[in-house]
Structure 1
C-alpha cells in the first residue's frame, strides 16, 4: 500500500478503533483518550498517512487555511524582518496540522476589502490574522459581517468579537528611556512610525510619558516606519541646530538605516550618537555596533496568533493570549555621550 492511497479507514483498521475516533485524533479534537490518540498517531505515521486538505474541505466545509492580508508597500515588507519571522511562526503551527497560509499583499483599503470578500466568498480560508491595527479599525466589523473568524495582533481601539494577542511594551520602553538617561543623555529624540497604526502611536505615547516623567522634553519626528524615511529623519536631525545625543527609532530597520547615515557622516557610534530600535529583530545582533532594542519575538507572535485562530475555528473558543512583556536588550549601540551631553 502506497502512502498516497492510505485512508482514514486503513488507519482505523490497523489501530483497532472506529473511523470517527481516528478523525478526532488526526484533527487534534477532543474526545480521545491520550493513550488512544498516541496509538492512532503512531499507526498513521507508520502507514505513511498524510492529510488531504481538499478532501477534508469537501467533507467538513473547512478550507484548512488561514489568511493574512497586508496593506503595505511590498518594499516595506521586504526590509522589515518582523513579517518573515511572524510568518515562520504561523507556518510552524500550520505545517504540524497539514494546513496552509494564504498571503496577500494589497496597496490600499479598497483592494484590501476586495481581498477579504473574495477569500471569504470562495471559502479559501477559515479565518484571518489581523496585523497593523488601526484606530477604529473598520476591518473588524467588516470581517465579522462576512461571517468569518479572526484574531488581532494587539488590542483594537474599538470593540471586537475576536480574540486578541497582546504584548506589554510599556515597561520595556520605560526601561529603554531610563537606560539612556542613566548613561547621561538628555537630548533623546524618537523617530516614530506610522501613527495610523496603533502600535506606532502607542510607542510614541509611551516614549513621551517616560521623557516627561524624567523631567525631559520629548521630541518626535514622524515617519511611515520605512528605512528610507528613517534615514531622512536622521539626516534632518544631524543637520539641525540641536543635534540629539540619542535617537530611539520606532522599529529596528529604521534604526539600522539611521546607523548607516551616522557612519556616512563620520560619527563614532555610540560615543557621538547612541541609537536604539524598538522591535527586537535578529538582524540587530549582526550590525555594527550591535543594536540596543526591545525584545519582540515575532516568531512567538505568529505561533500564538495561529494557535488561537485555529482554536477558535475548530473549537469555538475565543481565547485571548498575553505574551510575555517586551524587555530591554542592551547591546553596543548605546553608551554615555562623549564629553557629557
Structure 2
C-alpha cells in the first residue's frame, strides 16, 4: 500500500478505500490506484481480511473416507472438477482435506471456523446418523450438503416407491440426486430381462445414499413380487478388493445370483474379473450393472451397463448453491439431473437353467 500510495501521489487511506471498494476517492483516482496495484502484482491478503471480519476467499471440502478407496474412484475427481470450475471463475480457493473419520472432519470444521479459514463448506457423504449439520448450524458456518438424506425411519420396510427422506438439515442448503429412482430403474431393467436372483454389492452402509439405494431395492423388489431372500444388498467399503471379495462370496453360494448391481464402477470391473477367473461368462450366466459410468465401464469387455450422470455438473450445482448462500440467499433443496440407465453388453436374460 505504501508503494502504491507513493506512485499514485495519494495517502495510504485513499489506497485502502480504492482497493476495498469503499467510498472516499473519486472514480478516476480509484481506477488509477487499481491499475497501479495490478501493475505491481498486488493481491489481497486473505488471512488479514478474515481477521478484519471480511471474507477469506476460500471454500472448504473435507473427505472422511479411507484414503485407499479414493485413489481408484473417479467420482470425487469429477465432482471436484465441477466445483473448481465455478470457484475458479470467482477467484475463490478450494481448501481440501482428507481425514480418517467423521470426528476428525468435525474437528476440521471447528478449526476452520475459529481461524476464519473458509467462508463456507461443501459437505459430502451424508450419514444415516450425522452430527455435521447441527455442528455447522451452531457454528454459523454456511454449508451445502451434497447428496440426499437417509430414508425416514421405517421407509425401508414400507412399500412406497417415494422412500421419504429424513427432515432437511438445519439451515443448510442441499443438492441431491434421486438414488431411489435410479435403483428402481436398474431393478426394473433386470427384472424385465428375467432375473429373479439379484445381489446389490453396496458401498459403506452408514452413508445416506447407500441406505437409500438399499431401501429402494427392498421397496422395488416387493413391488415386483420378488423374494426378499433372493434380492438383497451386501455392504463393502467401495474398494476393488472388497468388491471382488463380495463377488466371490455370493457366486460361491448354492443358488448364486444371476445379476449383480455394484455401487461404483471400480467394484463392477473387479467383479467382472472375478467372474472371468471363475469361468462364469458375462452376460451368458451373469449380468453386471455399475452405478456410475466411467471410462472403465466403456473399455471393459463386455462393456458394462451403467447409470450415467454428469458428476461435474453435480459439483457445479453444489458450488453455485454455496455461493448463493454466501450472497444472502435462503437455504433450499436443489435437484440434479437424475442418472439414466444405459444398457450395454454386460446385461442379458439369464439362461433358462438358472
Structure-1-length-normalised TM-score: 0.82
Instruction: Say which of 291, 310, 320 aligns to 1:307.
Output: 320
Of residues 128, 132, 148 in structure 2, which corresponds to 1:139? 132
The alpha carbon displacement at 1:69 in A equals: 0.7
Per-residue deviation, 1:152: 0.3
* 1:261 CA drift (Å): 0.9
- State the superposition RMSD in angstroms: 2.7
Equivalent pair of 2:198/2:232 in contact (CA under 8 Å): yes
CA separation in 1, counterparts of 2:182 and 2:198?
A: 16
Select the structure of larger CA radius of gyration.
Answer: 2
Tell me: CA distance 1:234–1:78, structure 2 relative to 1, closer, same or farther (3 Å). same
What does 1:100-139 correspond to in 2, within 5 Å? 100-139=93-132
Q: What do the CA deviations read for 1:262-318 (whole angstroms, capped 9, x no partner)?
A: 122222211121011123334322222222122232211110111100111123443
Give the deviation of 1:113 after TM superposition: 2.1
Q: Per-residue deviation at 1:23?
A: 5.5
User: 2: distance between equivalents of 1:281 and 1:272?
Assistant: 24
The match for 2:56 is 63
Residue 226 of structure 2: aligned partner: 216
Aligned pairs for 1:172-251 within 5 A: 172-217=182-227, 218-251=231-264
- Alignment check: 8 A CA contact 2:69 2:237 kept: no
Structure 2 length-normalised TM? 0.79
Closer, same or farther: CA 52–292 of 1 in aligned 2, 3 Å? farther
Within 2, Cα distance between the matches of 1:335 and 1:76? 30
Retained in 1: the 8 A contact 2:61–2:95?
yes
Q: 1:226: how far off?
A: 2.2
The change in CA–CA distance for 1:48 and 1:214 in structure 2 (over 3 A counts) is farther
* 1:49 CA displacement: 11
Q: What secondary structure does 1:318 align onto? A: coil
Pick aligned residue for 2:92 from 84, 99, 110: 99
Deviations 1:150-207 (A, max 9, x none): 0001233344211010111333222211211121211111112222111001101111
Match of residue 52 from structure 1 = 43
**C-alpha separation in 1, matches of 2:311 and 2:90:** 21
Structure 2: 5+ residue stretches without partners = 9-16, 23-30, 150-165
